[in-house]
Amino acid sequence: MIQGKYFEDVNVGDTVIEMEKGPLQKLQLVMYAGASGDFNPLHTDDDFAKAVGMKDGVIAHGMFVMGCVGQAVTSWVPKNRLKRLGVRFAGMSKPGNTITISGVVTDKRVVDGENIVTCSVVAKDEQGDVKVSGSFDAALPGKA
């Protein structure tokens, strides 16, 4: 979490995340396949991807892009303060795309003594096409 960020310092409408990832490289997808165990050739083999209708070749794993979103979220709030992260996959990413992740505070409240901040989060490519959208809840410390 950014040093000095407290519940009292965050307001609805504040932008709290801005991170750029990319351009994505095919090597990253191959490495992700190894790390995740998802060896679907749609993500690693251009000839296969083209044969099944992906005219530009391979596409990124949706969970790879979600991982980028998770990295952006936990760059703002430590993972031990993250209460919930939910996303919806909205589009395909491919090598060469630059993904920009942003998050905005949509709500803040106290629940059972915890200072909860809800934020929307979205990942878009360089054309502004949404790849992942969602929201998260985080518990922020109070100043008192």
pLDDT score, position 5: 85
> What letter does residue 113 receive in the DSSP assignment?
T
Residue 44 above 80 pLDDT? Answer: yes
pTM: 0.93
Rounded mean pLDDT, 81-99: 97
Tell me: cis bond preceding 23? Omega within 30 of 0 counts. Answer: yes
Average pLDDT, stretch 5-27? 95
| Least confident piece of the model among 2-6, 28-32, 54-58, 73-77 | 2-6
Closest C-alpha to 40, from 56, 64, 63, 61: 61
- How many CB atoms are located within 10 Å of the residue 31 CB? 12
User: What is the reported pLDDT for 106?
Assistant: 98
Q: For the domain covering 7-140, report its CATH number.
A: 3.10.129.10
Rounded to whole angstroms, the Cα distance separating 11 from 107 reads 8
Please provide the average confidence, as pLDDT, over all residues in the chain: 95
* Cβ atoms 138, 116 nearer than 8 A: yes
Residue 19, pLDDT > 70, answer yes
d(CA 136, CA 76): 12
pLDDT, tens digit (0-9, with 9 covering 90-100), for 103-130: 999 999 999 999 999 999 999 999 999 9
pLDDT at 36 over 90: yes
Which residue in 136, 121, 132 sits closest to 90, CA to CA?
132
How many whole angstroms separate alpha carbon 108 and alpha carbon 138? 10
